[in-house]
Amino acid sequence: MNYQRIYNEIIINRKLNKILEGYTEKHHIIPRSLGGTDAKDNLVILSAREHFICHLLLTKIYNEGTIEWIKMIKAFHMMMYYLSDTQHRYINSHFYDYLKIKYVKAQTLNQSGKNNSQYGKKWIIHSETQKIKKIYQTELAQYLNQGWQLGRKLNPYKPAFVRNSTIDKLQITEEEKLNLKKQNREKRKQVFLQHKLKTEKTYIFINKITRKHKKVSLSQISSLTEEWESLFYTLDTEKENIKQMLLNNITIQEIANFYNLRYNQFYDWYRKNGKDLRQMYKDYKNTTKKQVCPLCGKTFISKDKRVYCSNKCYKTFLSQRIWVSNGIKKTQIQPNQLSEWLTKGWYQIKPMNASKGKHGGWTWVRI
């Protein structure tokens, strides 16, 4: 469809027929945003409907994405939403949908890249005076050396540091970029240490009766009643005793049993909070005498009183054991211990699969 021809016909028809009754509006034939003037030759009197149609046609005359198209979309948007004492407009859902989609696209094209008014600019704040200003990114290096920081607010726990990607874009020498990056790393370390000192360590306490949980800091622990208990806090207070137990070759399982804990519970604390204990135990075991595996003869460093060098040897050892019984009890022994147990009244047995029953099962047979 030739939208330009339709637009010209409306203008020419109204120029020839100047008589209009009722409400009218002035229209710029060449819009002012495209270089039009307020001269009489560039003005025409239109009805409200004709004025609306002309602006709609202007959005379709120019190719989508061009500067002229963006300007006409904005003009049409202003026309539809502008309200005054003499102008009241109504738009239906179809026009609203068309305009909204086109206007969003026009704004995206108009405000992208260098067309954006904020392109290449940064907000900075002075650490002492707390004054804020917006500067170009190329001026950032000289302001940073004068006590300015990125951002518009000063936050002692999360200060605005300059990113390395931002430093790389500055128009400065490579040595100055490296110096700025080193300063940022040192500032981050200092802030992290200060924040770590200010934050007090907390523990999760559980009520023995109601089983409710709550987080308690070190300064609040003295105010708790005996109903509350914490696994990690108890183990932290007993850290020196646990260290001595490990040095005395007491296994982790035995330590957990001593504190009435499951192995997983104790090992969870040992893994998270016992880093120094793990290193101490590792160094201690590396200095102990090496042992020889009784099954394969391999030398290895003993850990937790292990007799065999690997799980494979341990399973092989278990597979070689034999079952004995005295008529009431059953137990497993080594083949070289069989004669000793036989003299005590025990006899050798073996399991056999009794699959004749409904559910199957095992039965023990005397050898």
- Residue 264 pLDDT > 80, yes or no? yes
Q: Are 109 and 65 in contact (CB under 8 A)?
A: yes
**Please, what is the average pLDDT of the chain?**
79
Q: Comparing C-alpha atoms, which of 273, 291, 198 is closest to residue 232?
A: 273
Q: Are 28 and 6 in contact (CB under 8 A)?
A: no
Looking at per-residue confidence, does 142 or 299 come out higher? 299
Q: What is the DSSP string of 70-134?
A: HHHHHHHHHHHH---SS------HHHHHHHHHHHHHHHHHHTSGGGSTTTTEEEEEETTT--EEE
For residue 241, the surrounding DSSP H or E stretch is helix 239-247
DSSP character at residue 308: S
Per-residue pLDDT, 112: 67
Using DSSP, state whether 291 is helix, strand or coil.
strand
Count CA within 13 A, CB hemisphere, residue 294. 7
48 burial level (CB within 10 Å; 0-12, 13-18, 19+)? middle
**Cα 306 from Cα 291, distance rounded (Å):** 9
Per-residue pLDDT, 353: 66
Using a CB cutoff of 8 Å and minimum separation of 24, what contacts does 342-346 make?
Answer: none
pLDDT band at 289 (very low <50, low <70, confident <90, very high): low
Mean of pLDDT values over 266-292: 77
Give pLDDT tens digits for 185-201: 887 787 777 776 667 77
Per-residue pLDDT, 359: 47
Mean of pLDDT values over 158-166: 65
Per-residue pLDDT, 97: 74
Count CA within 13 A, CB hemisphere, residue 67. 4
**Cα 45 from Cα 43, distance rounded (Å):** 7
Per-residue pLDDT, 122: 78
pLDDT band at 362 (very low <50, low <70, confident <90, very high): low
Most confident of 136-145, 147-156, 309-318: 309-318
- Residue 17 pLDDT > 60, yes or no? yes
- Residue 44 pLDDT > 60, yes or no? yes
Give pLDDT tens digits for 208-238: 888 888 888 887 888 888 888 888 888 888 8
- Residue 157 pLDDT > 60, yes or no? no
Q: Round the CA-based radius of gyration of the chain to a whole number and report it.
A: 43
**Cα 119 from Cα 116, distance rounded (Å):** 5
Per-residue pLDDT, 305: 64
Per-residue pLDDT, 358: 47
Using DSSP, state whether 238 is helix, strand or coil.
coil
Give pLDDT tens digits for 85-113: 666 565 666 766 777 777 777 777 766 66
Q: Which two tokens stand for residue 199?
A: 């934050």
Percent of the chain topping pLDDT 90: 1
Q: Comparing C-alpha atoms, which of 196, 226, 228, 234 is closest to residue 215?
A: 228
